[in-house]
């Protein structure tokens, strides 16, 4: 179908208007394929070859990143969060096999599939300039033998037509933006002369230096103490709204998710098992694994002890699970959970969960009462 430029502009204007009207309750399906989805992962399926056998680490992952929003990927260690994101930036280890999938990216107005890009093309055209990553340990991203100024300028000098003195000015601006005091002096420092929190700020400055559209943060505050963690989270949020960045935020900590995310994808054993807006996941969770994660976090208001920790451990993906991979740890599991993996059941336009408990014929299971009381308390506190 041919669409004229003016009607496209009109559609975009209406879409933006509706988007701002609904804010986080945006209906993703309406906007798919227009412009508001900047990255769309479809049916991503990845195996690793190892001496012990094949590990089916990612088992059909789907999700969208709306432009200017933050999508969190949350789940226990080993659930497949980092591998999913490494597939986007071509950083997967060489023993991987990509069984299927597409990673659609809106590249200057054209939709491209990043899985068809060579590692070289990803390095030259995408990484840093379009999609930047911040990892848990800043020292893995920083070069100990170069000043931080030189490291912030490196990408700009390589990819942008910019003079050294302009790049230096921009480096100082970026250090100011990420809250480093005395930026003119600090650009001459080496990484070892900075604290852990400051190093992570520098890594964020490097990530922003080439004006990437997407920032992927992989547990960026896990190695930092709690007060520094809160500062870095606020920094990422501020920068995101100032620069209209789209952010994918990986964490095992739902407390962090509550602070940063618009949308949440809960991962378990290489699959997304619940997806929704942050309100849907925190106030109306439907998957028993999400109940377990919510119960296992300390109370946000009172800093109380955890209600509960999920018994057992995730399955070993060397052996393909038959049925629902969560069944062995799920006290609400039914016979069907042992036989067949549940599909995603729809709860709302933005909220889906893969649990047989949502099948119309399943017994009605209520949220565990302690968790229900806790969620009601936090909802009241949030409404005040």
Beta bridge partners of 248: 71, 216
Rg (CA), the chain: 22
From ligand ADP, Mg ion, none, interface partner of 80 (C-beta below 5 to 8 A by class)? ligand ADP
**Between residues 79 and 246, which has the closer beta carbon with respect to ligand ADP?**
79
From Mg ion, ligand ADP, none, interface partner of 36 (C-beta below 5 to 8 A by class)? none
Give the separation between CA 87 and CA 132, rounded to whole angstroms: 13
Query: Contact with Mg ion (CB under 5 A): which of 19, 40, 47, 82?
Result: 82
From ligand ADP, Mg ion, none, interface partner of 50 (C-beta below 5 to 8 A by class)? ligand ADP
Q: Kindly list the residues in this chain that would bind ligand ADP in the complex (CB under 6 A).
A: 48, 50, 55, 57, 75, 77-83, 93, 95, 317
Burial 346-362 (b: 16+ CB within 10 A, else e): ebeebbbbbbbbbeeee
How many angstroms separate the Cα of 23 from the Cα of each of 27, 186, 263?
10, 39, 11
Give the separation between CA 178 and CA 170, rounded to whole angstroms: 12
CB of 95 to Mg ion, least distance (A): 17
**Between residues 31 and 63, which has the closer beta carbon with respect to ligand ADP?**
63
Cα 91 to chain centroid distance, Å, stands at 16
CB of 164 to Mg ion, least distance (A): 37
**Between residues 218 and 274, which has the closer beta carbon with respect to Mg ion?**
218
Give the separation between CA 3 and CA 14, rounded to whole angstroms: 15
**Between residues 45 and 173, which has the closer beta carbon with respect to ligand ADP?**
45
From ligand ADP, Mg ion, none, interface partner of 55 (C-beta below 5 to 8 A by class)? ligand ADP
Give the separation between CA 20 and CA 34, rounded to whole angstroms: 16
**Between residues 81 and 287, which has the closer beta carbon with respect to Mg ion?**
81
CB of 80 to ligand ADP, least distance (A): 4
CB of 253 to ligand ADP, least distance (A): 12
Give the separation between CA 179 and CA 198, rounded to whole angstroms: 9
Phi, psi of 103 (to 5 degrees): -125, 90
From Mg ion, ligand ADP, none, interface partner of 95 (C-beta below 5 to 8 A by class)? ligand ADP
Contact 88, 131 (CB under 8 A): yes
CB of 113 to ligand ADP, least distance (A): 21
Among 74-82, 274-282, 283-291, 357-365, the segment contacting Mg ion (CB under 5 A): 74-82
CB of 248 to ligand ADP, least distance (A): 12
Contact 269, 325 (CB under 8 A): yes
Binding site for Mg ion (CB under 5 A): 82
């Amino acid at each position: 179908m041919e669409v004229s430029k003016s009607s496209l502009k009109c559609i975009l204007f209406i879409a933006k208007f509706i988007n701002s009207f609904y804010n986080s309750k945006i209906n993703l399906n309406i906007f798919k394929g227009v412009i508001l989805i900047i990255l769309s992962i479809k049916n991503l399926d990845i195996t690793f070859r190892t001496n012990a056998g094949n590990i089916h680490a990612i088992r059909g992952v789907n999700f969208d990143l709306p432009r200017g929003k933050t999508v969190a990927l949350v789940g226990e260690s080993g659930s497949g969060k980092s591998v999913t994101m490494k597939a986007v930036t071509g950083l997967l280890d060489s023993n991987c096999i990509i069984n299927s999938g597409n990673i659609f990216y809106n590249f200057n107005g054209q939709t491209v599939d990043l899985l068809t890009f060579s590692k070289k093309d990803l390095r030259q055209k995408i990484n840093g300039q379009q999609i930047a990553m911040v990892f848990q340990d800043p020292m893995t991203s920083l070069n100990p033998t170069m000043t931080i100024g030189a490291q912030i300028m490196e990408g700009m000098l390589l990819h942008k037509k910019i003079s050294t003195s302009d790049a230096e000015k921009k480096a100082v601006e970026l250090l100011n933006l990420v809250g480093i005091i005395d930026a003119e002096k600090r650009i001459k420092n080496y990484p070892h002369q900075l604290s852990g929190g400051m190093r992570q700020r520098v890594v964020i400055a490097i990530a922003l230096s080439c004006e990437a559209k997407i920032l992927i943060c992989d547990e960026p505050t896990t190695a930092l103490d709690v007060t520094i963690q809160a500062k870095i989270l606020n920094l990422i949020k501020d920068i995101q709204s100032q620069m209209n960045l789209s952010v994918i935020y990986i964490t095992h900590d739902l407390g962090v998710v509550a602070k940063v995310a618009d949308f949440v994808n809960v991962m378990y054993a290489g699959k997304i098992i619940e997806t929704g807006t942050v309100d849907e996941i925190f106030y109306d969770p439907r998957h028993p694994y999400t109940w377990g994660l919510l119960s296992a976090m300390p109370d946000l208001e009172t800093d109380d002890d955890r209600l509960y920790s999920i018994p057992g451990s995730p399955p070993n993906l060397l052996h393909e699970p038959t049925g629902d991979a969560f069944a062995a740890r799920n006290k609400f599991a039914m016979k069907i959970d042992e036989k067949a993996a549940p599909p995603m059941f729809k709860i709302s336009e933005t909220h889906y969960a893969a649990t047989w408990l949502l099948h119309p014929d399943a017994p009605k299971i209520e949220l565990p009462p302690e968790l229900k009381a806790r969620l009601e308390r936090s909802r009241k506190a949030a409404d005040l």
